[in-house]
Amino acid sequence: MVTKHVQNVMDGGAAQTRYTQRLTPVSATCVANLPEVLSLCKRMVVPFFEDDPEKIYRYKIELRMRNHNTISRSALIEGLAKCIPERHKVDLDNAEAFILVEVFKSICGMSVVKDYYRLHKFNVMEIAHVKNGETAEEGRVADSGKPSESAPE
């Protein structure tokens, strides 16, 4: 659903959302403890990578942790990397598949997506600005510091 909406924004150039800046795809959730997260990874990620047995994917684990200090970031990344079949390679610069892991308090959400950077990390406002040819200087935030031409000095 998220990928389809972002693709529609790329095609049309209008964000179609007033108060939403970034969407996060989550295919499945679990309790944020290491055994549960690794079990979820095996259920979600392995079928994605085994879909085409001949293909060797370059992947990246994109992890965001907020308000969570039970599992360390490095332990979680190492555990997730061990769930991926060994023939697939980690590539932090040129990845084809992205394993998105969001940990917020005691909940973990996970999904596997392609074209994460091409879709501007699912930032619909950024996609709309790029599609319409706007730059950061043309936005309302950049204009707020400039004096108005019609205002008296």
pLDDT of residue 105: 95
Q: pLDDT tens, 25-83?
A: 899 999 999 999 999 999 998 889 988 888 999 999 999 999 999 999 999 999 999 99
Is the pTM higher than 0.85? The answer reads no
- Looking at residue 80, its pLDDT comes to 96
All domains of the chain in start order, with CATH: 2-136 (3.30.2130.30)
Cβ-count burial of 61 within 10 angstroms (0-12 exposed, 13-18 middle, 19+ buried)? buried
